[in-house]
Chain A
């Protein structure tokens, strides 16, 4: 890596880290899987890099009172193999296991992923479907933001300057729920061209609850509320999948146009709904 020169800090507490970030010239370093490539290409040239790895407690994955709390520094791999995640919010684990390769999953963190807000990141689809909340800390204290409000645009979040993601909070999925994360991997980057996360709860022959999160299709992840409503209203999977992404902006690149991405989101929403239904009790 031939980056610009930068100073490197390893704070031992969050307070220390916040103080180091105060002047605005610093960047947080978590797993480095997004920041370092940017620095290598000199697309990011921070004056200082504040590494959160030495701060105790930021990695923990815990469960209390029906809610799971995932520390920002938990790696994708820790999330993918966590018994808590597997038991209480398996959709998130399924998304984590779809990220990159094992080297990336061993380094990259959930806090880094949500803060970076790559429009093609895997987690956001699951997080919006799980109605997760992002817990932020700043010198002024803590606040939480709903995942569906957090991802504002490509590489843009609801975070204010000087805020650190400290945790992700997720309500337990009910044991009877079915879930599925479907990903179409980009052949070059491995990121999703589209990723669709689905949760469903059956009631008799119908569907009592449906949540559909979509990533990769547009500048930020979104909940396909129109499709959720159709499913809950008994319209059937095909009809619901057919409206996913309606009215949403799309991304395009060499590999896939916006039109094709929207089409893929629909096809894979249909498949994810079907798979989730077979898992629902």
Chain B
């Protein structure tokens, strides 16, 4: 038994390299499409080329005649199965029955009409082209404002007004606030539809074992357990006979926080043909048939006093829902409403949301999910107010921030902000950027006729989703920690990380708490037969909620190990530290491995103690967490072409305590990239007839590494009191903070020309036309 113990350094806060990266960057990781099963068949989905049409008939005879075709399924085959689920519970919500395959009508381009199964994917694809669907095209509407207009084509004939729901929320007395106001600024602001575009598209393999009556569904999903519950429901099979496994997931960004028709269809087909069946989405299908994000038209009114004090906000929010509700479609704009006050003190908010059906693929959660839209709106409005009052945009923000001594702070929308010091990241960003100097340089550049802009956004967001009351299926997360007899540690997490790096951050937490080397820790996730029930990874919740569950499980486990340590040392009181139990009185200790052996060999047990070393904790968070930050962007606009150059990108994000700065950098960079994508390049465009014009990566402009500015990222750290780790969440911060800072910067650059607002994306042609317009 050792007598001298050196306490290892803690790993919390260290730039530890990601455990998952070697397999990812050497191409040895297994994604869905890498998996093969004996006898596996391949499915191809026949999709509607029309945005709206009646189906007069489907002739599958030519397809069936093709050698190698095993089966074909159409709408008639699946009427007895359940519908694609929507978990929203908004009063009065109109929910169209979302069959797994189209019945008598199609509602958007890409709507699944039939599934062809063949012995290989070429045959399946060839046969899909031979399926003859007799369509009678009908009028379609793809624009949510047009869909609301009188006489618009009805997406669902039973609801001619195309309204799926109205939702109202208010706090304070907005009418009175507007009566008191010296100024009111008004603006229509859009957040265009975006295509999440995970590099790995969706994919499913379903494997039916007839003898066991059990089904294994491999799916590239963010939510294996919820998927299992919901697909079991659709199929009417016992949930415990369905196992969901998520292989490596090549990106989700919210688009795989869903239950899709294809997941249930493949499960059903595998049972029908008694063969494993694989379906992998093509990029074109991904664009047409996986959820899109955003899709807002927002009418804002912001009331203020002449000194810049904001009094209240009114919002009319038009949400383009698409043709159906996917899992959370109608919920997303309600998150926008919650976030409307931003970081500001005003207590009067009045918001009306109308959810509108269009002949487009449904919208749903995409990185930020409702919060980027809200932040974009409030941050643009605050800038417009500053412009109107001729105030500095930093000054107006500092004037209106919730004060550092006011937390927890109750907002006009009923939230309680956990902790914050909003001026801090703004001051830091301004210092790092050299704000005063930048303004002087801007004045000099303007004198030369150059268009230089400085834009700020001070964003807040709702993270660590969340208390169960706020989430349809519960908002807790689970963790199990097992110390194996050899002393190795296995963690089972119900969060299902898919790129966020929790295999590393969770191992850091374990290493610190148990005093074992990180390499001894294995973090297992994404298999419902192995991991206890969990909710999943989305809404920047993985570490804040899943990590906290792990933390509490570790405390339980440590308590039990201390009992074994005390017994082995023949004492009552021991300290557990650095992987040892130490009797402080004698200086004697037992090692972690010795305790593990003792617990499993169980020759002697402490009083009232079971053998084994396993602890499970399901943790219910008492509140959301509320990260915040300041992004500062310097741009220059080419007067001749309208092209935008980002000259500086400075961001200071306060995401609570930081476990691994390297991973946080990655999250900030990726988040900012997607924010820039929305601000500058990306747009999912449907034409008047409902065709998706941005149908391929040749038209849909993703952010590329070569177009990224240098990101000067730093942090302030305000711990969250909500969870024991003090963390808040960082998955979405970059995306949320970015787009308003970029647009504010470009509007600032063009403000000498009288420009007040520009809708995203800021394409050079749009900018050029504004410059030309000002010249005319």
Task: For residue B638, give the distance in angstroms from its CB to the closest CB of chain A.
Answer: 9
Q: Known contacts A187-B681, A187-B707, A267-B641: does B284 contact A255 (CB below 8 Å)?
A: no
Q: Known contacts A2-B125, A264-B641, A267-B640: does B707 contact A254 (CB below 8 Å)?
A: no
Q: Known contacts A4-B126, A188-B702: does B694 contact A254 (CB below 8 Å)?
A: yes
Instruction: Point out the residues of chain B lying under 8 angstroms from A256, CB to CB.
Output: 763-765
Once the chains bind, are A188 and B640 in contact (CB under 8 Å)? no
Instruction: Point out the residues of chain A lying under 8 angstroms from B697, CB to CB.
Output: 188
Nearest 9 A/B pairs, CB to CB: A187-B701, A188-B701, A189-B698, A260-B765, A2-B125, A267-B640, A187-B681, A188-B699, A256-B765
Contact-size category for B: 20 to 34
Q: Mark B176-218, 1 if CB is under 8 A from A, else 0.
A: 0000000000000000000000000000000000000000000
Q: Mark B641-653, 1 if CB is under 8 A from A, else 0.
A: 1010000000000
Asked if A5 is at the interface (CB within 8 A of a chain B CB), the reply is yes
- The CA-CA distance from A184 to B765 in the complex, in Å, is 12
- The CA-CA distance from A257 to B764 in the complex, in Å, is 11
Q: Which residue of A lies closest to B128 (CB)?
A: A2
Asked if B693 is at the interface (CB within 8 A of a chain A CB), the reply is yes
Q: Which residue of A lies closest to B769 (CB)?
A: A260
Q: Mark B267-293, 1 if CB is under 8 A from A, else 0.
A: 000000000000000101000000000
Q: Mark B667-708, 1 if CB is under 8 A from A, else 0.
A: 000000000000011010100000001101111111010010
Instruction: Point out the residues of chain B lying under 8 angstroms from A260, CB to CB.
Output: 764-765, 768
Once the chains bind, are B641 and A254 in contact (CB under 8 Å)? no
Once the chains bind, are A254 and B699 in contact (CB under 8 Å)? yes
Listed in ascending order, the chain A residues whose CB lies under 8 Å from chain B are: 2, 4-5, 41-42, 184, 186-189, 253-257, 260, 263-264, 267
Task: For residue A6, give the distance in angstroms from its CB to the closest CB of chain B.
Answer: 11
- The CA-CA distance from A253 to B641 in the complex, in Å, is 17
Instruction: Point out the residues of chain A lying under 8 angstroms from B685, CB to CB.
Output: 254
- The CA-CA distance from A184 to B764 in the complex, in Å, is 11
Task: For residue A239, give the distance in angstroms from its CB to the closest CB of chain B.
Answer: 16
Q: Which residue of A lies closest to B641 (CB)?
A: A267
Q: What secondary structure prevails in chain A residues at the interface with B?
A: loop
Asked if B99 is at the interface (CB within 8 A of a chain A CB), the reply is no
Instruction: Point out the residues of chain A lying under 8 angstroms from B768, CB to CB.
Output: 260, 263
Q: Which residue of A lies closest to B697 (CB)?
A: A188
- The CA-CA distance from A64 to B694 in the complex, in Å, is 47
Q: Mark B120-142, 1 if CB is under 8 A from A, else 0.
A: 01100110010000000000000
Q: Known contacts A5-B122, A256-B765, A257-B765: does B700 contact A41 (CB below 8 Å)?
A: no
Q: Which residue of A lies closest to B700 (CB)?
A: A188
- The CA-CA distance from A4 to B764 in the complex, in Å, is 39
Q: Which residue of A lies closest to B703 (CB)?
A: A187
Q: Which residue of A lies closest to B124 (CB)?
A: A2
Instruction: Point out the residues of chain A lying under 8 angstroms from B284, CB to CB.
Output: 41
Task: For residue A61, give the distance in angstroms from its CB to the closest CB of chain B.
Answer: 28
Q: Mark B459-476, 1 if CB is under 8 A from A, else 0.
A: 000000000000000000
Once the chains bind, are B699 and A253 in contact (CB under 8 Å)? yes
Task: For residue A69, give the distance in angstroms from its CB to the closest CB of chain B.
Answer: 33
Task: For residue B776, give the distance in angstroms from its CB to the closest CB of chain A.
Answer: 14
Q: List 10 A-B contacts (CB under 8 A).
A: A5-B122, A41-B696, A42-B129, A184-B641, A188-B697, A254-B693, A255-B763, A256-B763, A263-B641, A264-B641
- The CA-CA distance from A255 to B762 in the complex, in Å, is 11
- The CA-CA distance from A232 to B704 in the complex, in Å, is 41
- The CA-CA distance from A41 to B697 in the complex, in Å, is 13
Please name 13 further chain A to chain B contacts, defined as beta carbons within 8 Å, in addition to the given A189-B699, A256-B764, A264-B641, sorted by A numbering.
Answer: A2-B121, A2-B125, A2-B282, A5-B126, A188-B700, A189-B698, A254-B683, A254-B693, A254-B694, A255-B765, A256-B763, A260-B764, A267-B640
Instruction: Point out the residues of chain B lying under 8 angstroms from A263, CB to CB.
Output: 641, 768
Q: Mark B756-774, 1 if CB is under 8 A from A, else 0.
A: 0000000111001000000
Task: For residue A134, give the distance in angstroms from its CB to the closest CB of chain B.
Answer: 26
A189, A254, A256 — most chain B CB neighbours (10 Å): A254
Instruction: Point out the residues of chain A lying under 8 angstroms from B763, CB to CB.
Output: 255-256
Instruction: Point out the residues of chain B lying under 8 angstroms from A188, CB to CB.
Output: 681, 697-702
Instruction: Point out the residues of chain A lying under 8 angstroms from B122, CB to CB.
Output: 2, 5
- The CA-CA distance from A2 to B124 in the complex, in Å, is 10
Task: For residue A116, give the distance in angstroms from its CB to the closest CB of chain B.
Answer: 14
Task: For residue A75, give the distance in angstroms from its CB to the closest CB of chain B.
Answer: 21
B residues 611-652 in Cβ contact with A at 8 Å = 640-641, 643
Q: Which residue of B lies closest to A42 (CB)?
A: B129
Q: Which residue of B lies closest to A259 (CB)?
A: B765
A42, A188, A267 — most chain B CB neighbours (10 Å): A188
- The CA-CA distance from A5 to B126 in the complex, in Å, is 9
Q: Which residue of A lies closest to B702 (CB)?
A: A188
Instruction: Point out the residues of chain A lying under 8 angstroms from B693, CB to CB.
Output: 254
Instruction: Point out the residues of chain A lying under 8 angstroms from B765, CB to CB.
Output: 255-257, 260
- The CA-CA distance from A264 to B681 in the complex, in Å, is 18
Task: For residue A9, give the distance in angstroms from its CB to the closest CB of chain B.
Answer: 19
Q: Which residue of A lies closest to B704 (CB)?
A: A187
Task: For residue B374, give the distance in angstroms from its CB to the closest CB of chain A.
Answer: 26
Q: Which residue of A lies closest to B693 (CB)?
A: A254
- The CA-CA distance from A253 to B699 in the complex, in Å, is 8
- The CA-CA distance from A187 to B282 in the complex, in Å, is 22
Instruction: Point out the residues of chain B lying under 8 angstroms from A187, CB to CB.
Output: 680-681, 701, 704, 707
Q: Which residue of B lies closest to A40 (CB)?
A: B282
Q: Which residue of B lies closest to A256 (CB)?
A: B765
Task: For residue B36, give the distance in angstroms from its CB to the closest CB of chain A.
Answer: 16
Instruction: Point out the residues of chain B lying under 8 angstroms from A41, CB to CB.
Output: 284, 696
Task: For residue B658, give the distance in angstroms from its CB to the closest CB of chain A.
Answer: 33
Instruction: Point out the residues of chain B lying under 8 angstroms from A257, CB to CB.
Output: 765
A184, A255, A263 — most chain B CB neighbours (10 Å): A255
Q: Which residue of A lies closest to B768 (CB)?
A: A260
Task: For residue A102, give the distance in angstroms from its CB to the closest CB of chain B.
Answer: 11
Q: Mark B727-768, 1 if CB is under 8 A from A, else 0.
A: 000000000000000000000000000000000000111001
